[in-house]
Amino acid sequence: MPPVVAPRPVSPAAAMAAKNAAVDKPVLRVSTQSKNDEIGIQTLVGDYLEKGTNHGKKFYQKTQKIAGHEDIDVFLYYWDARDGADFSGWWFGDQVGGSQVWARNPSHGPNPPRVGWRVPWDAPSAQPGLLFVDPVSVGASSSVGPPAAPPPPTTGPPSHAGASPAASQARVKQATQKVDALEASCREAMKASKALTPDSDEEEVAAANGLLQQQQTALVDMQKTLTQDITEARKGGISATGLVTELSKLSPRLRALQAGLAVEATKVKSLLQKLHSGVVDSKRQAEQAKELEESLPPAKEAVASAEDSVEAVAMMAAPLIEDPPEDDADLLKKALEEVEFSANDAQNKITEARSQINVKLQGARKFAPETRKAALTEFSALQQKLTETQKKLNPYKNFQKEFKARVQARKALQALTEKLTSAELEVEKAKMMSAAAERGQMTEDEISSTEKVVEPAKTSIDDVSRSLEQKLRTADGALKDELVQMKTQASALKKNADSVLDVLRKQREGLATVEMLQLASQKVDTVEERFAKCQEAEMPFLKGLEVLPGEESSKAISACESTARKTESALHQARSFLKSKTLEAKRYTQEVATRVTDELKAHETRLEGLAKKVETFRKETTERKMAALMAEVVDAVCACEKKVEVLVKVAEVLTSDDLEAVSSSELKEAIEKAGAAEQEASASMSEVRKIFAAKQREAKGPDFTAALAKVKARMDTCQQDLSKMRKAAGSGERLIKGKEVLSEEEEKVKQVEENVTSAEKKLKPGEEEAALGIEAAQPTDAEIEEMSIAFTSGQKTLKASQRVLEANTSGAPASLKAPLQKLIDRCKTGLSKISEFMAMTKDQRELVMSRAYVREAKAKADEVDKGVERVNQAELPFLKGIEVLALNEATTTIAESEAASAALQSSVSTARTFIASKNLEIKHFGAAASKSASEEFAQLTERINTAAAKLGQFKKDTEGRKKTALMQEASEKVSAAEAAVKKMAEAAEPFKDGETDMAEEECEKLVDRLKETQDAVAEANKLLADKQRDMLANAAHKDTFKELQTRLRETKNELGKHQRVASKYEKKYAAKRLLKEANDTLAGMDEEVKKAKQISAPLLEEGGAKFLVAASVRTLAAALRDHMKDKELTHEGLHSSISDGMSHIPEDKFVAYLESLPEALSREELAFTSARRVEIFKYIDTDEDGSVSQSEFKAIFLQKFICVKEITLTDGFEVVKGKTQAKIEPGTMLETYHGHQTDPSNGMMRIECTDVANSRTGFVTMEGNKGTKFIDLISPFTTFCKDMDKGVYESIKNVAKVSAFLNDKIKELDNAGRAGPLAEARAELVKLKPKVATAQENLRKMRAKAAAAKKDFEKKELAERNAHIVARERKEAEAITSPTKAKVELMEAAVKALEEAAKPLFSLSTTDLNAFASPLATSEELEKLHEACVKSIEEVKASVSEQLKKLPEEMNTSMAEAKKELQKMLGKSAAVKKQGAGVMGQMRAKLQSIVDARSVEVSGLLRKETQQKGLSFDQLFLEVVTPGDERISEAAFCKYVQGIQGETFPEEQIALLCRHLEKGGVGRRRFQAFLQKYFKVVKSIAITDGFDISKAKTLRKAEPDELVELLEGPSKDEKSSVMRIRGKSLADGTEGWISLKGNQGTPFLEEVEKPFYSSQMEIPLQREFKMEDEDGLVRTLKADEVLELVEGPRKQVFEPALRVRGKASSDGAMGWFTVRDKKGAVFAEADGKYYSCTSSVAMTDNMDIKECKVIRKLAVGELFTVEEGPIEEKEAGITRVKGKAMKDDVEGWVTVKGNLGTVYAEASTKHYCVLQDMPLTKRFTSSSSGEEVRKLEKGEAMQVLEGPKEQSFPPETRFKGKALSDGAVGWVTITSKSVKSWTPFYKCKVAAPLHDQIATEGATVVRQVEVAEALELLEGPVHEGNELRMKARAEKDSAVGWVTIKDGEGKRLFES
């Protein structure tokens, strides 16, 4: 038994659990029903306790111990499939998962299965009853017997107790020897059994069976012995493992032998049984055969006797029926009785014989199978004979009774026979008449006459058939047989008649189809004719003018449409006709239907081809029509596309992948340019849309719509490009904005970070202090307050910056996202630190801030008190006792009261808001800080509430006073209106009479007065309307107000009267006045724009230059202050030292002093430029006297500040010791000549200054130690910016008012109508709007530019301030960049030299270029310069790479700039490289232009030379080339060309052309390609007889893919601007002029390489275009031969071949043969030498009818050929011929016409004579050998059975080619298998050597050609032995040599 990979052992924990389990009652009981315990099954039998779980299921242990083996435990457990399916299931083993197992069940149930156990575990199946596992019922007792010794597990480590190794080996050896001996004997027994056959005798088989049984018994004994040995061995434990294993290995051998013996024993037993049964069967079968042999003769004799009796009866009855005796009745009666008697006797014999056979059959069924089968066959045959005999007898059993009926039936039968015979003659006659169908189509008369014969005969046959059917139903016996025979005859006749009718039907169908097919052909021909007219109509468009002039275009399009309609009509008719006839053809017979359908399909194919052409023609006509209609919009789209192209080019930098690397200035410039280009493109697009919309409105029909759709697609493309560019510009703007935001916010964050860092130093100890344990000093209250303010401000700044940065991050370019995010993180870090520091200073900060809040709240309460005082002052005028003041005084007082009230209200609200907010804030403070502050706030709130109460009363009083004043104002307004109306009445009085010729001045006064009056009334009316509600609500004023309303109403009425008088003048002067007012307003607007421009000029136009100078003066002053402080100098003293004691310092001395300062004071920032030093002097010299006075010198030290945050003015420098002199409010102006100082005690910056308002002098803090600013320096620039912003804003506001004024006035005049003064005025006002819009746009741009300029100025100022630092860093950076700069300069010089050298060439016009004499010298010079340029570029790259390595890791700005500069230099090198490449490309383009021009002219000259001299191109090549050379050298080429053209072309140009053609000399193939230019037709175009399109006549139309050889040109038709060539069509040789492109750019021809073809297989090269026989063969081309196209390709159309289905006269072979093939060759013909015998006639040996002897008789239909004659014997009156019988070649004379006119033989029209050997094929269309019946030989006669029929062939494409190998010329047919296109460029498929000669033997290898390498053919391909070789040039390195294209084995190494 093989070893087992047993389940893995259980874990130690599981084993421990199993051992420690408490003893419990058993839950399972294992039992067996086996009586035999050979395998130790009793070891497993017993009770089992539950011990735990394994692999998810419980496991059990046997409770009983095994006697003598107490140390062995038995477990029942489950193992899952982790070790494979073969090791899963329930197991019995010595431990859970152990290696020794006894039994297995593959079940996976939750509990151990009851049955199905395999013992041993690897047994093939479970034995029933061997093992049962049952649950133990409650209370059940154990009834198992004593356990047996444990069974041997299949694997494990058992050993035999006490056995030594030697004993174990002896035991194994002994067992092995026994098994070996038993195995040998078993194999002998099996060998003997296998030798037995079915022919072996029974004794031999019985002996073999006994031998097998003996071996089986021996095997069982051996198995038992081995099992016992293994069991005993297992008792030895682990030490016996080897013994058990070796013994177990023997078990499989025994089982294998047992299985083999069992198979052989079964076979032998079966054979023995068959032999035993066979002996018995053979004896019985012999006896039965003998019995059958003896019983057959009597039975056959009885049957024969019965048959004879029945035959006798029939013979007796036949004469009576045929010829019954009419007179002798007795004789008839007697005869009838004899017949009946004989019939009864025969019936008895039949009955007796049938009984005898039945008995025999009963006995035969007991026979053996084979004998029974033979007996049943014989007796069944006899029974069948009896049955047939009985049928024959039955009609005669009642013969006497049925006799008369039989006689009558016989007579009727004879009548039917006669009728059938007559019909048969008619059918045969009709058949002969229809034989004409075999010769072809019968005529109508022939068909009709044949129908008249066959149809009555067919009717007669049908009548006879029906009669026969009726009689057959009642007939029997001989009569029935006769009737059946007649029926068969009638059926045959009917079939013949039907055959004739079928022929006639086919002929009639054929007659109908001929006419139908002719008509179908005519209809298709009509379509072709009309389409030809279509082609004629489109000719005007095929000359190259796609869009003809208007009238000509309309005429041509109309003609095209007309012909197209007619053609489509004919096409529709033809298509309908073919469709209907195709359906009709289905009703014909299958043969006719197939033929007709095929021909109709051929017509349909033609028609569909025409339909496609018509459809194409219609489409092209529509396109041409649309082109004419769409010309305007197409032109507009083209213009738009060009502008979009400009935009794309301008915005190219914006679409760069590395947009971030582009500088902001470049981006701005690109965006500005792109914006301008985008506006132009957008305007153009708008124009296109307008035109397109107009065309859309005109659009009618789908064609127009489709054309518009195409234009729309182009418009959409333009729009997409526009959108793309806008998007790119947007990306650029976002990038710029992102950079600006990053810069601005970084500055803010940096400032906050510095403040936070400063606070951190005060709040946290340094690293050293922290290390020493020293804590930070406690900040002062002032510092805490300052910190708190700084923290609050910093939090706001950081949060705002974070929001701005986050908002910009999402849409920012990728390069900015990281810096933005980094800055966001810094914001978050700053906020975190601020929160930390605020928490650290909480207690002190709360106390300080609560005090600060109280101070501020008191200040706000004081403001409220001041407001109360102002209110009291404001109402004093009303408190003097005068209740109603004058209106002006009342209005003023009320306004002051309202202002005071509003101010007080604002103060109250501000104070309340502040106290409320701070009150909430201090609630979160500690008790110490919040208590006193809360109390203070409560007191202040009470003060504020008191003031608020006073304010409420004051508001109420003011309101009352206001109403009184309003009533007073209303009264005065109404009075004013009344007075105005009165004056109006006076002014209108002169006009009441209706006079219209009043003076213009008077009219104008009237209108002015009317306007004033209307304004007064309107003003009063508005006031009353606005205040109506308030006045009517006031009882005191209600009546007065109503009275005013009444007065105003009356005034309005009065005004209406006067208004009617003035209305006729009003509009005119209103319009005039309105325009004057508008113009005045616009004049003011222009002034505003001008003023804004002037205000911003110092910044926008001058760039803020003077402010930069002022900044430099401040820098100078700061340095001099420090200098004066160090030297203890006064301003005067310093001035005196500079001026050498003089009162003024002259310019030169002052400038020199400035120049010395940097070194004298060691101040780098004073290193001004010479220009700046002069500018500083001029700035200081305010009186412009050329010198600096003491006052001017002192003025530079004057600094002005403005307070930005409340601060105190102290008397001393130190904050702690100084006393407050005054409080400086925000906005206060301060002045000083002093510089700032830093207080060492707290780090605050302080300065001594004077309050300008009150002249108080003291010290103020400029900036707190936390960075808080209290005062700001007022610089000239900041002052200017404020004034500029204010001025520009005012201008914008004033211009906006002008815009509003215009809009209002235009709106007022909306109802002015379309005519009249006001309408005209409105139109004029509308014209003014663009001017206003322009002014607004200019101001907007000005403001934007000013904002940008301010930022730029700040950057400039900062740059100048840091200029000395930058200069130092720049110097260090320049040390790195300077080496590369030098190389860049050299590089730029090199490219400049290249450009300069190229300028003379590039500046040449086309005309000058053609005359340029030195292109080669120039190109060589440029190549050298370009090489030097490339070298310098590489040096720059290397230098950049080297210098970049020298840059430090941490770089300052200059170093960063140096890096950028180096990168720019690298970029510049790339640009220079591109620039150089561009120059060289331009040079090549120029040279190419020369080459192109010379190529056309020189090739034309050389072509002309060949034509004049009658040379071929090969001959011309030989004439040009130097004798002995294979290639035309440059010198030879130039010499020849100059020889034929003189000095027309410069020599270098010809040399340049030669080099362009091929370097190193022009080869034969390249020379031919240069001379032979070919074009392919890509669109149908006309070939005309002349160059001038307008005068030329069309020769024909060139079709697509047609090839044209250039003969002359290209030349330009100046009238139409169309390029044309004179060419020759290779298809048919037509020569004429053709347009290359249309006048709209549509290409008609495209230049192609000269076509070459390569043969794929052996193909014939024939002399003529039409395919010929072998006589026309030039030679056979080999595979891979290359042919040069000479003519074609063109199609060869074949005539239909004639095919006939015939029958060979010689052997009757039938099939199809060719009468005439597609080439016109005749293979068979019908002639008069074949005669067919129409009547029997003799063949004689002599012509003389009297003296001749008969040779033999010729039968009807026999054929003979006429050898001589016909000869007429006038004496005898007969005509004779000498003939040769086709049947047997017997020759003799035959009479063809007798002396009475009888025709014995006539010339056959149904026979053909074979003229050439050809195949006879089975099918009509097949001529392949596989379809051949046999070969027909020349001279054979063929009888026509069907046809002749036409066989159509598709056209074949052929071309005339010239073989490159030997120059053979001929025609070749193009098929996919025969030839393919060829190019002279080959690609290497398999690496191959390049040899120096054609022969490989002895050749030197030039080099190895690698796979995929490209080669150009120079010579060949030629066959060298079995290899195909060529001479070629490698594209990689121009190496030349011979390579093998295809080796001798057919393997391809190169593919073209």
Q: Give the model confidence (pLDDT) of 1724-1779 as tens digits.
A: 887 678 888 888 888 998 888 878 888 888 887 788 888 888 888 877 788 999 99
Residue with tokens 């069948």: 384
Residue pair 446/435 in contact (Cβ under 8 Å)? The answer is no
Residue with tokens 């197209």: 564
pLDDT tens profile 575-591: 888 888 888 888 777 77
- Identify the band that residue 18 occupies on the pLDDT scale cut at 50, 70 and 90: very low
**What average pLDDT does this structure show over 1215-1244?**
82
Q: Rg (Cα) of the chain, in Å, rounded?
A: 66
pLDDT tens profile 1697-1717: 888 888 887 788 888 899 888
**Ordered alpha helix ranges (H), 886-999:** 887-922, 927-988
**What average pLDDT does this structure show over 414-432?**
76
pLDDT tens profile 1151-1163: 888 888 888 888 8
Rounded to whole angstroms, the Cα distance separating 1391 from 1394 reads 5
Query: Among positive and negative, which fits the CA dihedral 266, 267, 268, 270?
Result: positive
Q: Which of 730-744, 780-794, 1003-1017, 1904-1918 tops mean pLDDT?
A: 1904-1918
Whole-number pLDDT of residue 881: 59
Q: Which residues contact 52 (CB under 8 A, 6 or more apart)?
A: 14, 17, 18, 21, 58, 59
pLDDT tens profile 1783-1832: 788 899 999 888 777 888 888 777 888 888 889 888 877 555 557 888 99
Whole-number pLDDT of residue 140: 43
Residue pair 94/100 in contact (Cβ under 8 Å)? The answer is yes
User: Six-digit token pair at 802?
Assistant: 């974070």
Beta strands in 1717-1823 (DSSP E): 1724-1725, 1730-1733, 1737-1740, 1750-1754, 1759-1769, 1774-1781, 1787-1793, 1801-1803, 1807-1810, 1814-1817
Q: Are strands 1581-1584 and 1594-1598 parallel, antiparallel or unpaired?
A: antiparallel
Q: Which of 61-75, 1307-1321, 1391-1405 tops mean pLDDT?
A: 1391-1405
| 1307 has a pLDDT exceeding 50 | yes
pLDDT tens profile 626-668: 777 777 777 788 888 888 888 888 777 777 666 666 666 777 7
Q: What is the largest CA-CA distance in the chain?
A: 203
| 800 has a pLDDT exceeding 60 | yes
Whole-number pLDDT of residue 148: 41
Rounded to whole angstroms, the Cα distance separating 1824 from 1811 reads 20
Whole-number pLDDT of residue 1573: 84
Q: How far is CA 1125 from the centre of its chain?
A: 80
In sequence order, what are the beta bridge partners of 1697? 1847
Rounded to whole angstroms, the Cα distance separating 1618 from 543 reads 9
pLDDT tens profile 312-324: 777 677 666 666 6
In sequence order, what are the beta bridge partners of 62? 48
- Identify the band that residue 289 occupies on the pLDDT scale cut at 50, 70 and 90: confident
Rounded to whole angstroms, the Cα distance separating 1196 from 1116 reads 9
| 1323 has a pLDDT exceeding 70 | yes
**What average pLDDT does this structure show over 445-466?**
82
Whole-number pLDDT of residue 144: 42
Peptide bond into 990 cis (omega under 30): no
Q: What is the mean pLDDT of the chain?
A: 80
User: What element of type H or E holds 46?
Assistant: strand 46-54
Rounded to whole angstroms, the Cα distance separating 71 from 65 reads 8
**What average pLDDT does this structure show over 783-809?**
80
Q: What are the φ and ψ backbone dihedral angles of 1937, each rounded to 5 degrees?
A: 175, -175
First-to-final CA distance of the chain: 70
**What average pLDDT does this structure show over 1654-1661?**
88
pLDDT tens profile 961-993: 777 777 777 777 788 878 877 877 777 777 666
Rounded to whole angstroms, the Cα distance separating 243 from 234 reads 8
Whole-number pLDDT of residue 1890: 93
Residue pair 1737/1791 in contact (Cβ under 8 Å)? The answer is yes
**What average pLDDT does this structure show over 210-226?**
80
Looking at per-residue pLDDT, the higher value among 215 and 1198 belongs to 1198
Closest among 1152, 1143, 1141 to 1177, alpha carbons compared: 1152
Rounded to whole angstroms, the Cα distance separating 1381 from 1393 reads 18
Residue pair 1762/1777 in contact (Cβ under 8 Å)? The answer is yes
Task: Write the CA distances from 34 to 40, 127, 129, 222, 1272, integer angstroms.
Answer: 11, 10, 6, 21, 118
Rounded to whole angstroms, the Cα distance separating 878 from 891 reads 12
Whole-number pLDDT of residue 1002: 67
**What average pLDDT does this structure show over 380-398?**
78
Q: Residue 720: is it exposed, middle or buried by C-beta count within 10 angstroms (0-12/13-18/19+)?
A: exposed
Identify the weakest region by mean pLDDT among 991-1000, 1608-1617, 1629-1638: 991-1000
Please, what's the b/e burial string for 674-712 (b: 16 or more CB within 10 A of its CB; e: otherwise)? bbebbeebbebbeebbebbeebeeebeeebbeebbeebb
**What average pLDDT does this structure show over 382-408?**
73
Rounded to whole angstroms, the Cα distance separating 1373 from 1362 reads 16
Write the secondary structure of 874-899 as one string of H (helix), E (strand) and C (coil).
HCHHHHCCCCCCCHHHHHHHHHHHHH
Q: What is the DSSP letter of 1635?
A: E
Residue with tokens 């609500």: 1033
Looking at per-residue pLDDT, the higher value among 1480 and 1027 belongs to 1480
pLDDT tens profile 1093-1119: 888 888 888 888 888 888 888 888 888
- Identify the band that residue 1619 occupies on the pLDDT scale cut at 50, 70 and 90: confident
Looking at per-residue pLDDT, the higher value among 886 and 677 belongs to 677
Rounded to whole angstroms, the Cα distance separating 384 from 399 reads 24
Looking at per-residue pLDDT, the higher value among 1930 and 1064 belongs to 1930
**What average pLDDT does this structure show over 1469-1484?**
88
- Identify the band that residue 1066 occupies on the pLDDT scale cut at 50, 70 and 90: low
| 1390 has a pLDDT exceeding 80 | yes
Closest among 1671, 1651, 1672 to 1662, alpha carbons compared: 1672
Whole-number pLDDT of residue 77: 92
Looking at per-residue pLDDT, the higher value among 976 and 202 belongs to 976
pLDDT tens profile 677-716: 888 888 888 888 888 888 777 767 777 777 778 888 888 8
User: What element of type H or E holds 1130?
Assistant: none
Looking at per-residue pLDDT, the higher value among 486 and 322 belongs to 486
Rounded to whole angstroms, the Cα distance separating 526 from 570 reads 7
- Identify the band that residue 1907 occupies on the pLDDT scale cut at 50, 70 and 90: very high
Rounded to whole angstroms, the Cα distance separating 618 from 621 reads 5
In sequence order, what are the beta bridge partners of 1619? 1612
The pLDDT > 70 percentage for the chain reads 87
Whole-number pLDDT of residue 1221: 81
Whole-number pLDDT of residue 1901: 92
Rounded to whole angstroms, the Cα distance separating 1919 from 1897 reads 14
- Identify the band that residue 1398 occupies on the pLDDT scale cut at 50, 70 and 90: confident
Whole-number pLDDT of residue 244: 67
Q: Residue 1628: is it exposed, middle or buried by C-beta count within 10 angstroms (0-12/13-18/19+)?
A: exposed
Q: Residue 1031: is it exposed, middle or buried by C-beta count within 10 angstroms (0-12/13-18/19+)?
A: buried
Q: Which residues contact 1102 (CB under 8 A, 6 or more apart)?
A: none
The pLDDT > 90 percentage for the chain reads 4
Looking at per-residue pLDDT, the higher value among 148 and 1854 belongs to 1854
| 1491 has a pLDDT exceeding 70 | yes
DSSP sequence for 616-685 = HHHHHHHHHHHHHHTHHHHHHHHHHHHHHHHHHHHGGGGG-TTGGGS-HHHHHHHHHHHHHHHHHHHHHH
User: Six-digit token pair at 1045?
Assistant: 């309303």
Rounded to whole angstroms, the Cα distance separating 1175 from 1107 reads 11
Q: Which long-range contacts (CB under 8 A, 24 or more apart) does 456-460 make?
A: 456/426, 457/423, 457/426, 457/427, 457/430, 457/493, 457/497, 458/427, 458/494, 458/497, 458/498, 458/501, 460/419, 460/420, 460/422, 460/423, 460/426
